Structure 1
Amino acid sequence: MGRTRKGRAISGFLIVDKPPGITSTSVVNKVRWALEAQKAGHAGTLDPAATGLLAVALGEATKVLPYVTDALKAYDFTTRWGQETTTDDAEGEVAREADARPTDAAIEAALDQFRGDILQVPPAFSAVKVDGERAYDLARDGEVLELAARPLHVRELTLVARPDADHATLRMVCGKGGYVRSIARDLGRALGCLGHVTRLRRIWSGPFTVDGAVTWEEIEQGARTGALDSRLLPLETALVGLPECRCPELSVASLRNGQPAPVIPPEDLEWGEEAWASRNGKAIAIGVFEAGHLRPSRVFAA
């Protein structure tokens, strides 16, 4: 007999404006407790010092987290020139210093090498696994790490403001696995002035934006009162990038049992494409479209 989960069987996304000094895992645990939810997860870790959008999925919405994690994300960040730190942000110790300061024109010219499909070496203090262990654990133990470069797509990288000679504010739109700290570090090296991140804020991720997100204070005030239920976004919000097929009533049970069933596709849907099936606007399943049928890979409870 299966173990019964404790808590409420609620589903959806709570979009949180994460404050500094709190881990992403702590936010998820707080939201799960506040909403008394059976299950919770998040899309895309933010560093403890970072702020901004954290999409917390509850219940059935955890099944669509990959579609948010894999989507483009936008960050605003401030780089401090003249210093490189052990963590590539203000939390670490200063490892190297330089007297040079870049001009606006020099920054603009250097940005192009960090746009498009690039290779990026993650920070030593990151969640990347090395021989089964987290890089940050090894780095804290004093190990000198040489992490392998990883591919990253950078859709946009622009200079937004120049508060003073020591700082620059930039915006980056990138794909999965991007480290803003690495961009600041590598940009500082390319400019010959060194650099690290002093402020980082995620402003949107896939279909979600930080505008109107729930604050930490609102979570605490509304915890276990039902007040936060109205702030939940449906799991279907995460599927806006996938083609939607309409599901006839006769196909609902088959799809929910993981069996292929006939669906009504949009005109431009091709054989072998991934799509989702809906009934009255609610997601029934995600799968591959083949010969008028959807072959489910993920199914959703009623």
Structure 2
Amino acid sequence: MARVKKGRPVSGWLVVDKPAGVTSTAVVNKVKWALSAQKAGHAGTLDPAATGVLAVALGEATKTVPYITDALKCYRFVVTFGAATTTDDAEGAVVETSALRPTDEEIAAALPAFRGDILQVPPQFSAVKVEGERAYDLAREGVEMDLVARPLWVERLKVLARHDADHVELEMVCGKGGYVRSIARDLGRALGCLGHVQWLRREWSGPFQAKDGLSMEEIERMAKTDELDSHVRPLELGLADLPQVPATPEGAVRLKNGNPGMVISSTAQYGDEAWASYQGKPVAVGIYKAGELHPSRVFNLN
């Protein structure tokens, strides 16, 4: 006998402006409860101390999470000079200090090394797995790890303001897997003065922007109402970076059953990943080949 799923089959995205002091998982759980949704997940963790956009995927939209995770993201943050911490942010204990402070010119000269294709070592307190365990769990036990450097694309890194000798506000646009705390740590080291993140805000992630997000208080107030339902955005927003290919009626039926189906290509080229629609609704994601989409994910929308 099939297990009955609890909740409503809500599919789409709810954009949240996450406050400081709350985990990303707690935000997802609150959204899931408020919408009585069967399934929910997020597209990219924010540290508890960080604020900003957290896109919560609901129902079938969870199948599009990888495309948002891979999309560019914009962060605004302040680096505090003169101290290194255990967590590379203001939450951690200070482990080393320096009386040196960089000039504006020295900061400007150091930033180009952090743009483009770079290698970045994750913070000790991070979700990276080390022999099957999370790095932050090992770090809490006092274990020091030699974490492997990972590639990161940094499209933009610029100074927004120099508030005083101890602080600089920066903006970074980067790809998947970027740690702002690592940028602050490594910039401080490069300048010879040490550094850590004072505060951090994610301004946008792919098509989702913090300024359009709901606060936790608004979600609480609108919970279990049609008003909150009206804020759920279409599933296909998670596919904004892929070309859309309309399916023929016969093709839509085949795609819904997990088989290659005929589509009408507009911009997709042979071998491109694309998403098929029928009568305006997403049907599947897959590889476009000679007039057909070969599905890798199929959407089961009512």
TM bin, normalised by shorter chain, reads over 0.9
In structure 1, the residue matched to 2:243 is 243
CA distance, structure 2, for counterparts of residue 270 and residue 239 of structure 1? 17
The CA deviation at 1:43 is: 0.4
Give deviations 1:52-97, integer Å, cap 9, x for gaps: 0000000010000000001010000000000100100000000100
Matched, 1:173 2:178: no
Partners in 2 of 1:221 and 1:21 — Cα distance? 20
TM-score by length of 2: 0.98
Amino acid at match of 1:299: V
Partner of 2:189: 189
Partner of residue 132, structure 2: 132
* Counterpart Cα distance in 1 of 2:284 and 2:276: 5
Letter in 2 for 1:139: A
Aligned with 2:170: secondary structure? strand
Separation (CA, whole Å) in 2 of partners of 1:280 and 1:77? 43
Identical aligned residues as a percent: 63
SS at 1:155 equivalent: strand
* 1:54-203 matches, cutoff 5 A: 54-203=54-203
Gaps of 5+ in 1: none
Contact 1:35 1:226 in 2 (8 A): no
Match of 1:232 in 2: 232
Report the 3-state secondary structure (helix = DSSP H, G, I; strand = E; otherwise coil) of the residue aligned with 2:200: strand
**Aligned residue type for 2:184:** A
RMSD of equivalent CA atoms: 0.8
Q: State how far apart, in whole Å, the 2-side matches of 1:208 and 1:17 are.
A: 10
Amino acid across the alignment from 1:119: L
DSSP-derived class of the 1:211 partner: helix
Q: Give, in whole Å, the separation in 1 of the partners of 2:250 and 2:122.
A: 49
Contact 2:244 2:268 in 1 (8 A): no
Matches within 5 A, 1:220-299: 220-266=220-266, 268-299=267-298
2:166 aligned partner, one-letter code: D
Q: Which residue of 1 aligns with 2:6?
A: 6
Q: Write the distance in 1 (CA, Å) between the matches of 2:156 and 2:119.
A: 15
* Aligned mates of 1:126, 1:287 — CA distance in 2: 32
Paired letter, 1:285 = A
Q: CA deviation at 1:291?
A: 1.5
Distance in structure 2 (CA, Å) of the matches to 1:238 and 1:280: 18
TM-score by length of 1: 0.98
- Offset at residue 261 of structure 1 (A): 1.0
Partner SS, residue 211 of structure 2: coil
Post-superposition shift, 1:226? 2.8
Aligned equivalent of 1:206 = 206
In the alignment, residue 227 of structure 1 is paired with which amino acid? E
Alpha-carbon distance in structure 2 between the residues aligned to 1:2 and 1:82: 59
Deviation at residue 252 of structure 1 after TM alignment? 1.4
In the aligned structure 2, how far is the partner of 1:252 from the partner of 1:270? 20
